[in-house]
Amino acid sequence: MRKSYLPAALILALLVSGCAGTQMQKKQTQGVNFDPQRFLTAEAVGATEGEAKRDAMASLASVFQSRVRAETRSRANSYLTAEQGEEFEKQVQQMVLIDTDVQLEGASIGWVRPDEPAGGFRALAVLNRARAAARWRNALNRNQMAFSAGLQSLKTVQSRLPRLATLNRLTILMGEMAVIESRLSVLGRPAMPSDNDFSAILAERAVLIDHIGFFIQIDGPDAGTFAQRLGALLTAQGYRLVESSHAAAGLISGKIRMQPLALENPNVRFVRALADISMIDLDTRKEMAAFSENVRKGHMDKNEAQRRAIDQLAEQTAAKLIQTLGAVGLAPVNGAR
């Protein structure tokens, strides 16, 4: 079999050509000028090219995030009362922290060059203002359409719980729109100002939160212990409980049962605690949700087994109630506000 060999001169020529190409690319990259009117930029240095690139991208995200926060704070304070502005600002800041890094997906590295004084590398991260603005304008349009639909549905909702749920969703959309509008402003591509009365929405929502309460009504053995534990768990999450159904907007009713279990262990007494729970809108008398929970516990002492079963049953029921309320837009007050 014949073997073919590249001439040594040809190999040398290819190597030289490759090196020359790499050097030329570096020179071209180093010479690129990113117009600040078209690009948002941030520089960083690192011991290696990779480290410099990572730090530059992180610096760009940090700079952008801090500017968006400041812009959003100014935006919130401009049309809200002091109390509402502080509440709204906290909500928006959470969205900024969560979303900003993800939303900088359009950012890239503009150039990397040796940093001779530091002995490492310097990199520039860039974000094309026009491209990012186009993406965020599309997102803003979607949110504005959803917000308009929510305002229309609010006109037909009279019951307190569904009305608060609608106001909660509108407030979330307001926060998302404020963040997007702030991003566009930081990019130098501001959106048209909204003519919606956001303060009226937040004011009504605050009133409903402060006046809407839930009443717990449980029947069955150890019902008092179960209701007390359930109430403490819901209160800890920010829900407001009242002492009478007449003062409540929502009723959490249910019945618990205890079942002795005959298992093959003579030294341990086992019991099963079961709860059937309903959540009712007292303005309309309609059932909003219904579910069942059960727990099995064992102990040498029957009473201790029942106590443990009731305690865990209350925890499971509270978790399911919080999940159900959140699914219909009635998130815990501390989280919603």
Please state whether beta strands 250-261 and 214-219 pair in parallel, antiparallel, or not at all (unpaired): parallel
Considering the domain boundaries, does residue 193 fall inside one?
Answer: yes
Clarify whether residues 176 and 219 are in a common domain: no
For residue 29, is it within any domain? no
Q: What is the pTM of this model?
A: 0.75
Q: Quick: pLDDT tens for 163-177.
A: 999 999 998 888 888
Give the CATH number for residue 276. Answer: 3.30.160.150
Q: What is the pLDDT of residue 117?
A: 77
Helices 160-186 and 198-211 meet at what angle, rounded to 10?
140
End-to-end CA distance of the chain: 80
Q: What is the pLDDT of residue 23?
A: 45
Q: Identify whether residues 233 and 194 lie together within a single domain.
A: no
Segments of the chain with pLDDT less than 50: 1-29, 101, 334-337
- Whether the CB-CB separation of 22 and 112 falls below 8 Å is answered with no
Q: Are residues 251 and 183 in the same domain?
A: no
Q: Which of 211, 232, 255 is the last residue of a domain?
A: 211
Residue 186, phi then psi, degrees to nearest 5: -65, -35
Strands (DSSP E) contained in 145-263 are: 214-219, 250-261
Task: Verify that 192 and 238 share a domain, yes or no.
Answer: no
Asked if residue 6 is part of any domain, the answer here is: no
Residue 175 lies in a domain: yes
Note the pLDDT of residue 202: 83
Q: What is the pLDDT of residues 39-89, one digit of tens each?
A: 999 999 999 999 999 999 999 988 888 888 888 777 666 656 555 556 666
Residues 39 and 185 grouped into a single domain: yes
pLDDT of residue 171: 86
**Domain with 64 in it:** 35-211
Q: Give Cα 289 distance to the centre of its chain.
A: 24
Domain membership of residue 11 (yes or no) is no
Q: Do residues 166 and 112 both lie within one domain?
A: yes
Whether 14 is in a domain gets the answer no
The pLDDT value given to residue 295: 82
Of 211, 245, 267, the domain-final residue:
211
Q: Are residues 58 and 205 in the same domain?
A: yes
Same domain, 41 and 180: yes
My answer on whether 218 and 205 are in the same domain is no
- The domain tally of the chain equals 2
Note whether residue 2 is domain-resident: no
Domain identity same for 183 and 251:
no
Q: Which of 159, 178, 211 is the last residue of a domain?
A: 211
Report if residue 118 sits inside a domain.
Answer: yes
| Consecutive H or E run containing 335 | helix 333-336
- Domain identity same for 300 and 238: yes
Asked whether residue 104 falls in the same domain as residue 194, the answer is: yes
Q: Which residues pair with 216 in a beta bridge?
A: 252
